Amino acid sequence: MNNKITLAMLMCGIGAVAAAGVAGAATPDADAPSIAVKYDPATLDTYKGARQLYVRLETAAVEVCPSIDPHFVSHQVQVCRQHAIESAVAKVHNPRLAAIYLSATKHG
């Protein structure tokens, strides 16, 4: 089992897009920034371990999809982060982690 997850930024040049105020989705780029988040698959056997990995994935998404202004996160950056987390959770393919993701993204 692969012990690392690569979070790929799904929006090309997100920093430039956010700074310029340009809206619209960009295509994924093979050279897009990414961060490897290593973990022990055994940690996913518990809710606590899966939750800790999820928090680490959120942190990595913030690093991969930075915001120019620390007090304001643009819609494009929010979408980038959400896609990065969603992609990473899908790559791990663990029901406990998926449930945490679904709970964290539940709206309403």
How far apart are the C-alpha atoms of 78 and 58, rounded to whole Å? 11
Cα radius of gyration (the chain): 14
Q: What is the pTM of this model?
A: 0.70
- pLDDT tens string for the chain (108 positions)? 444 444 333 233 333 333 333 333 344 455 677 899 999 999 999 999 999 999 999 999 999 999 999 899 999 999 999 999 999 999 999 999 999 999 999 854
What DSSP line would sit under 28-56, residue for residue? Answer: --TTS-EEEEE--GGGGGSHHHHHHHHHH
